[in-house]
């Protein structure tokens, strides 16, 4: 199985929000990381075939998805970034309705709904109205919807937003098991969502995919670039404006500062074991003056 983007560009008026993206994905989990406004949702909506690119094409097993249309859409499960629920629908109604739209046979759909409600932890809430669900429950309902007919391609836009740490871990386990023989693409701005499970991690910014590597490669790249430095709190205030700082914690009457820098920043700096989050900050050059954009 192969899903391919060929020089895909999307513009709104004169603004290019996706710039000539060329990419091939196969079986496995693909994590799409990037700051807000990077273009993740735009790329995902194009792959889910709810948005047309301005230029370029998307090929599924070498066939243009716009030429095959319904046949492609039948193979994908899609969780949009924002889902709104109908006033009177219970969780079960919503899933049954989604199953009907996907053309699933009724008995099979009922069984699958029970199974999925169990695995996303909503079995006891299926008969409650989804408008009364918490944000995290609505997100889990959306994930169940996307998985209903065992899609070959699963596309999830910020699936973990609103999930608590336990729900996040559960989600990762479900996705990991699911992706054994399928393609899963998920966007997030939370590094730890994909760190463990993604075979490939894409870093996106300004409408382009700047990097695509397995997680381990990012970490290797960061070796010798992450430092722990102890300094008094007053010094930290001025230091903050010149270095990428990935963490700060109190240590005695000092601060232990985790600094990302190519060269040893101070004589007392010691090397730290890098993480994917360090790589994210390094590659997106999160200097304080750049942050907050
Ligand atoms: N319908 C639209 N009209 C105009 N600009 C849009 C529209 N949708 C998205 N954008 C712009 O495209 C850029 C990428 O947005 P988006 O794909 O939502 O990024 P992300 O999901 O990474 O936060 C942003 O600058 C956003 O403002
Ligand atoms: Mg988005």
Q: Which atom in ligand 1 lies closest to the alpha carbon of residue 207?
A: 14
Given 197, 218, 239, which residue is the final one in a domain?
A: 218
Q: What is the pLDDT of residues 6-37, one digit of tens each?
A: 999 999 999 999 999 999 999 999 999 999 99
The finding on whether 17 has its CB within 6 A of some atom of ligand 1 is yes
Domain identity same for 183 and 276:
no
Measuring CA to CA, how many Å separate 2 from each of 26, 28, 75, 149, 211?
A: 5, 11, 12, 19, 19
- Ligand index nearest the alpha carbon of residue 38: 1
Rounded Cα distance, 275 and 220, in Å: 9
| Residue 237 pLDDT level (bands cut at 50, 70, 90) | confident
In sequence order, what are the beta bridge partners of 76? 153
CA of 82 to the centre of ligand 2 (A): 9
Indicate if 175 and 189 belong to the same structural domain: yes
CA–centroid distance, residue 44 to ligand 2 (Å) = 9
The chain-wide mean pLDDT, for the chain, equals 93
Residues in the chain: 293
Ligand nearest to the CA of 81: 2
Whether residues 74 and 107 share a domain: the answer is: yes
Q: Note whether 183 and 214 are same-domain residues.
A: yes
Please indicate whether residue 203, judged by its CB atom, sits closer than 6 Å to ligand 1: no
Residues 143 and 239 in one domain: no
Percent of the chain scoring above 90 in pLDDT: 85
Distance 84 CA to ligand 2 centre (A): 16
- Whether 202 and 250 map to the same domain: the answer is no
Alpha carbon distance 254, 230 (integer Å) = 6
- pTM for the complete prediction? 0.92
Ligand number with the minimum distance to the CA of 34: 1
Q: Is 13 in the pocket of ligand 1 (CB under 6 A)?
A: no
Let me know if residue 290 belongs to a domain: no
Task: Kindly give the number of the ligand 1 atom that is closest to the alpha carbon of 45.
Answer: 17
Q: What range does the domain containing 159 cover?
A: 3-218
> Looking at the 3D structure of the chain, how many domains does it have?
2
Task: Please give the pLDDT value at position 287.
Answer: 57
Q: How far is ligand 2, taken at its centre, from the CA of residue 148, in Å? A: 23
Structure tokens at 235: 């010094």
The predicted pLDDT at position 291 comes to 47
Nearest residue by C-alpha to atom 4 in ligand 1: 12
292 belongs to a structural domain: no
Element (H, E) at 167: helix 165-178
Q: How far does residue 151's CA lie from ligand 1's centre (Å)? A: 26
């Amino acid at each position: 199985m192969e899903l391919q983007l060929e020089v895909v560009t999307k513009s709104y008026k004169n603004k290019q929000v996706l710039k000539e993206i060329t990419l091939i994905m196969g079986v496995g989990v693909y994590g799409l990381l990037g700051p807000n406004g990077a273009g993740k949702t735009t790329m995902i909506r194009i792959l889910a075939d709810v948005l047309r690119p301005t230029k370029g094409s998307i090929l599924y097993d070498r066939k243009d998805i716009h030429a095959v249309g319904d046949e492609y859409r039948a193979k994908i499960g899609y969780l949009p970034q924002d889902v709104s629920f109908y006033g009177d629908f219970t969780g079960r109604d919503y899933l049954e309705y989604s199953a009907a739209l996907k053309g699933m046979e009724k008995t099979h759909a009922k069984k699958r709904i029970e199974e999925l409600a169990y695995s996303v932890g909503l079995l006891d809430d299926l008969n409650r109205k989804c408008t009364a669900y918490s944000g995290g429950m609505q997100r889990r309902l959306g994930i169940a919807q996307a998985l209903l007919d065992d899609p070959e391609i699963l596309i999830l836009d910020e699936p973990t937003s609103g999930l608590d740490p336990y729900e996040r871990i559960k989600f990762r386990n479900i996705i990991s098991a699911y992706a054994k023989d399928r393609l899963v693409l998920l966007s997030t701005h939370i590094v730890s969502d994909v760190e463990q499970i993604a075979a490939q991690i894409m870093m996106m910014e300004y409408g382009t995919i700047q990097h695509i590597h397995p997680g381990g490669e990012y970490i290797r790249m960061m070796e010798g670039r992450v430092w722990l430095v102890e300094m008094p709190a007053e010094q930290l205030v001025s230091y903050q404006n010149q270095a990428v700082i990935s963490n700060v914690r109190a240590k005695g009457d000092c601060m232990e500062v985790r600094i990302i820098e190519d060269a040893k920043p101070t004589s007392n700096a010691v090397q730290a074991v890098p993480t994917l989050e360090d790589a994210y900050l390094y590659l997106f050059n999160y200097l304080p003056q750049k942050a907050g954009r």
